[in-house]
A and B are shown apart, each in its own frame.
Chain A
Amino acid sequence: MMDKALLGDYLSESEQLLDTLSADLDVLMNRAKSGRDPGPSHKTGAESVIEIVNRVFRTVHSLKGLMGMMGLAEMQSFAHRFESTLDDLRLGKLKLNPELARTLQEVAENISGLFGSEARRLTAGGDRQGRVERELVRLRRMLDDMAALPRVLTVKGPRSLASLRLSAEEVKLLTPYERHRITENLIAGKVFFEIRVQFQVGELDSRYRTIASMLGDRGELITTLPGRSANPQSIGLKVILAADMREGELEGLVRPFSAAVARIGPSSWRRAGAVLKSAGRRKKEIGKRTEAQVAKLRANGSDAASSDTPTKRGARLTADHKPLPEDSDDGQLGGVQTVLPASMSQDAFQSLSQSVRVDLSHIDEVSGLAHELYIEVERLSSMAGRIMQSSECGPKERFDLKQSSRRIERQFLELEERLVEFRMVSLAQTFSKAGRLTERLARDLGKKVNVVLAGRGTQIDKMIVDRIGGPIYHVLRNAVDHGVEPAAERLRAGKPEVALIAIEAALEGTRATISISDDGRGIDPDQVLERALAIGAIAGGEEWSKEEVLRLIFRPGFSTASQVSAVSGRGVGLDDVERVMYDLGGEIRVLSEKGRGSRFELSVPTTLVMISAFIVGAADWRYAINVGQIVELIYVGAADIIGTDGKRTIRWRGSSVPLVELGYLLGLGGARRLTTESRARERVTRLTGLTAVASTIEQASDSNRSEWVHRQSDRSAPRYLPRKPDTRVPAFITRFADRFIAVAVERFDDQREIIVKSLGPIGKKMRGIAGAVDLEGGEVALVLDLPGLLMMRSIRL
């Protein structure tokens, strides 16, 4: 069994690589569609196709390695086959076009999905599901198809190569990829240079990295070959560069490295052709010798990949002195030291990204500590204030101390915010995937769709991003399957033949809204109502507003699709979508106009860790509630409560709203119905929206503090009994599914920004609790997940 922490690292790295792969393939697709290659990035600022293909190749290569380390042999073989296709693309044997780019995207997506399933199986155990088996068959077929694509045989490579002044020994050391790049650069009319440098062994790494980076910015670094060195303490290198620059310019550039520059081509075909011919003969001989050497080494039982083999002139030099695998791209056998292609050797010096992976729980721990410190700092500031008052310090000292403590408080707040930002990731990957999925789905269904993405850079908590994908894809599937009409129908309706689907994200304070709109046929409210009556979701004879009717589509088992397709129409899902949204502390809204299209808005908090919370008191303890889940804060007088038995409700915004006690929801006693024994006539203070919270807090702090008695002996009795006629009950309105509910509490405290701390793995299983927060005086307040709590208790409402 693999070490859990190690497996976690591998999975995390793989996830990152898959994200990079997906993003790069998107760019590649755009390039293939536009048919434009901006050329080398050092000139245009944008990456060239070959640069992207190279990165994709390396990413798949790294993934392949990770899969092997995780023991996922089958996945590794898929990655290897994928890598082979990418290699052919690098070598110019395959030509990039939109069709190939799409196939690459689909293969990558399949590999990603299967890898996810296999990784979950690795961590949770169990057998492969049938679906996974089918996906494996599909992927195998796709890879077979890709392998069967006709390859272009490049015959011009060696002839072009011969125009460079390279020794036979050097030529034979070039990999197929390097030869291909030389050819491409010669065709592009580039000038070739050799740059000879010598570095001390101790500074080889850093110096080489610097010069390679510098040269890479000005041209294409083709390869690095061993060069002459003046003494045993230094290593000589010969860098081959293809660029659009003069020799003198290059000399000036590399002068700080004491490098010698010489132009090496292009030269006459004949001379180089002869060189190549002889090189070919020698290579065969050397190849035979090498094979014999390797066989001998293996027979001797020694490690063929020994890194102790001295580097000779003409032999290649690995960047990290590690053997290449047998399937390495340059065709060298493992165990023989080689110089990596220039682009690859640069990578060997640098990791794929300039980032480190940190477990989210570690960030949470640090965030928690920072919050603790902030509380302590606040306390310290308050103490300092008191000491200042009682001591004899002068006005300047007082001013300085005050400024200093304020500065520290501010900095701690900033620290907390920065730590929360660590958890934030952009929606780019989710959106890209959603866009591709939509296009593919439309293609499968024979529909024409143009997908527009906006707000991809919107950043939200990784935990939310990981879970929001499902609801987004579900809504998109419905949009393509039910919303978008076939082209002929669209034309008849006077719409453009190609439908438009827009996926947008925007920040609204502490929440992000992801909207998915289409210009399809929209939702027919009459049809929805008819269907709802048919399945018994509603009773007949009731008045329904259009908004209420549209919300019926979130009822379990609801579907107006006349036919069940492979994509949607089984009535399974939108209720699940709504549940996931509630689990995330979000909600889903729908707007639709028959014949004009629909718009689904998925609203989620930007973070699950730092939230703006309202603190309330109930049954002796305090609780924190995400302000995003509070619609309105109110005070309810006894006279406003309707009903003595059965449902106890209040009138709110013209509707009858159930009234429950928070203690009841928490299972701590208290009733869902409030008593009406008080005859007081109280107005209901209605404060709309979050802007009213502050004023409500002030009111709450002034009054309504000690008017409640607890009936500890009777757990089912109401706990917050108003004893005086003028007593009011503090309550808040929250939304649960399509209903509003008033929840009475013992008292309102205040609103504050809090860091939500995890309750650990056992706590995660408990519904209705999102976490906990430290309050002053060592008290812990639970952070409530109101939708979860209400879902648990809704059956009794």
Chain B
Amino acid sequence: MDKLENLFSLLTGTKQPASEHSSLQGIQPPDSSQYDPNSVSVVLFSIGRRALAIAVENTEGVVDCPHISPLPSAPDAIVGVVSVRGRITLVLDASLEGALQGSREPSRESWKRRLILLRGDAQLGLLADQIQTVLSLGADETRQLPENRSGKRLLGGISGGVPGIRLARSYFKHGGRKVPILDLGLLSELSN
């Protein structure tokens, strides 16, 4: 099993061959023959209409999101808590962070989604409507997000109302769109 196939095992938490994973959650593995040791692998996922990504090395796996219990007084992007493998995990909806729309109130039935478990002590999981794919990005394919004078990061020239932008430092282009790559450090520092 090559490196990329291992990534799929990691993401799905199973030991099935890579070919079987393509049918799981719509993940399409990139051609392993083009694997570049200097590249960074990212999980591309969607939440609402927004596409976001996170480095595979910052993830621990992907699970079906269990029932979410709401967490009062939590930062906007944290929609609640779940228990995954006995560990309490804070569920983060990156599309809510920095978004202009009002916060959503979770209900028991509406969360038939996936949860990308993040590495580290923060006990965080990223909510995803769909895991699109895992991409291997060359060093020249990622760009730092520019900042305006007040230090706010910009995407497409704007800072406000771009979901996830406060949680990302870099982006890449995919299908003509600029996709923010979420930063584990910023996610872990999340506060009100």
Contact = CB atoms under 8 A, between A and B. Distances in A.
A771 B67 contact: no
Contacts of A761: 121-123, 188
Contact of A766 (B71, B86, B88): B71
Given A778-B83, A780-B88, A762 B191 contact: yes
B182 interface: no
Contacts of A766: 71-74
Interface residues on A, range: 20 to 34
Interface residues of B, number: 28
A759 B88 contact: yes
Contact of A769 (B66, B72, B82, B124): B72
Given A666-B72, A769-B73, A774-B86, A762 B124 contact: yes
Contacts of B124: 760, 762
Contact of B108 (A620, A780, A792): A620
A766 B78 CA distance: 12
A762 B75 contact: yes
B67 A778 contact: yes
B69 A782 contact: yes
Contacts of A621: 69-70
Interface in B50-94: 66-67, 69-75, 78, 81-83, 86-88, 90
Contacts of B122: 760-762
Given A759-B90, A771-B88, A667 B123 contact: no
A779 B67 contact: yes
Interface in B25-45: none
A792 B87 contact: no
Main secondary structure of the interface of A (DSSP, over half): mixed
Nearest to B87: A368
B121 A767 contact: no
B73 A772 contact: no
Task: List the 3 shortest-distance A-B pairs measured between CB atoms, nearest first.
Answer: A760-B123, A372-B86, A666-B72
B94 to A, nearest CB: 14
Contacts of B66: 778, 780
B191 A772 contact: no
A689 B155 CA distance: 59
B191 A765 contact: yes
A772 B81 contact: yes
A760 B190 CA distance: 12
A310 B75 CA distance: 66
Interface in B165-192: 188, 190-192
Given A765-B191, A774-B83, A760 B90 contact: yes
Contacts of B101: none
A782 B191 CA distance: 19
Given A761-B122, A781-B69, 10 more contacts: A365-B87, A667-B72, A759-B123, A761-B123, A762-B75, A762-B90, A762-B190, A765-B191, A772-B83, A792-B73
A771 B88 CA distance: 9
Contact of B90 (A668, A763, A781): A763
A668 B81 contact: no
A226 interface: no
B190 to A, nearest CB: 6
Contacts of A792: 73
A758 interface: yes
B83 A780 contact: yes
B23 interface: no
B107 interface: yes
B78 to A, nearest CB: 7
Contacts of B81: 759, 763, 772, 780, 782
A369 interface: yes
B78 A772 contact: no
B70 A668 contact: yes
A561 to B, nearest CB: 37
Contacts of B74: 762, 766
A658 interface: no
Contacts of A665: 72
A757 B121 CA distance: 14
A335 interface: no
A769 B80 CA distance: 12
A768 interface: yes
Nearest to A756: B88
B73 A758 contact: no
B114 to A, nearest CB: 16
A502 B143 CA distance: 67
B73 A779 contact: no
Nearest to B74: A766
B133 to A, nearest CB: 28
Contacts of A666: 70, 72
From B88, B124, B191, residue with most partner A Cβ within 10 Å: B88
A192 to B, nearest CB: 58
Contact of B123 (A763, A768, A781): A763
